[in-house]
Amino acid sequence: MANLFFEHSTRTKFSFEVAVKRLGGDTLNFDAESSSMSKGETLEDTLSTFNALGIDIGIIRHSDDSYIDAVKEKYNFSIINAGAGKFEHPSQSLLDLYTIQEHFQTLENLTITICGDISTSRVASSFIKAMKHFNSKIYLSGPQELMPKECDLPNYCQIKDIDKAMAQSDVVMFLRVQHERHKLFELNIDHYNKSFGLNDTRIKLLKPNAIIMHPGPFNRDVEIASHLIEHKQSKIFKQKENGVYTRMAILEWIVS
């Protein structure tokens, strides 16, 4: 397997590497910054090189929203989408679903709030698409500038005030504001936690059995107050653990 990450990653990249090692495979870790791409090599040329080297699976992350359409079924190796711009992050969605399923023993009839940078979040995009298969409700909260248009949302998804949404939710997922994808939006981090983050006041709104999630990386005291990251209702580090199991399942399914 080759980890072909054209954007920085910690959780996704290394959980795939751990997953491969636990399944008895070998991993090639590609570093875009030290590769021949600095000499002008294209994405397609890079993938053709790994194709010639005889890899079985290429795990690819790229900033282009639709790169996957340009490369799928073009090479002899299987391709796993490890993040496409602000459009898709399917393996993250699967590990999030597994974490929720593990806690509630179901994905049906749940209310889930996603709070933060929704408009450029591939995590939110993939998760919302996945939830169309279950009879659950999704609320979206965050700065108005970072919300999608309501007319573009499916009927099981709506924009709602964070405090009202949290009080009704079984799952609350916080997202990082992705400054690297915004050219004009400036975030006042001093006020963000009070307005949209998890803090001592807002956590009192949670149902006793509700869970807190965050795909990472998180900014301490911005999306979540630092001392609440490992709160008893937090599944943030459980998500990371479940990422290995989920990606082992994805790899085993592809190979078999």
Q: What is the pLDDT of residues 201-243, one digit of tens each?
A: 999 999 999 999 999 988 899 999 999 999 999 999 999 999 9
Q: Identify the residue with better confidence: 43 or 225.
A: 225
Burial 31-61 (b: 16+ CB within 10 A, else e): ebeeeebeeeeebeebbeebeeeebebbbbb
Work out the average pLDDT over 90-116: 97
Domain 90-240 is found in CATH 3.40.50.2020? no
Bond before 90 cis per omega within 30 degrees: no
Of the candidate ranges 56-65, 115-124, 149-158, 189-198, the one whose mean pLDDT is the lowest: 189-198
Structure letter (DSSP) for residue 8: -
pLDDT recorded at residue 180: 53
Domain 2-85 is found in CATH 1.10.3720.10? no
Which residues belong to CATH 3.40.50.1370 in the chain?
A: 2-85, 90-240
Taking 80 as the threshold, does the pLDDT of residue 15 lie above it?
A: yes
Which candidate, 201, 247, 250, 196, places its Cα nearest to that of 223?
196
| Residue pointed to by tokens 């090639």 | 28
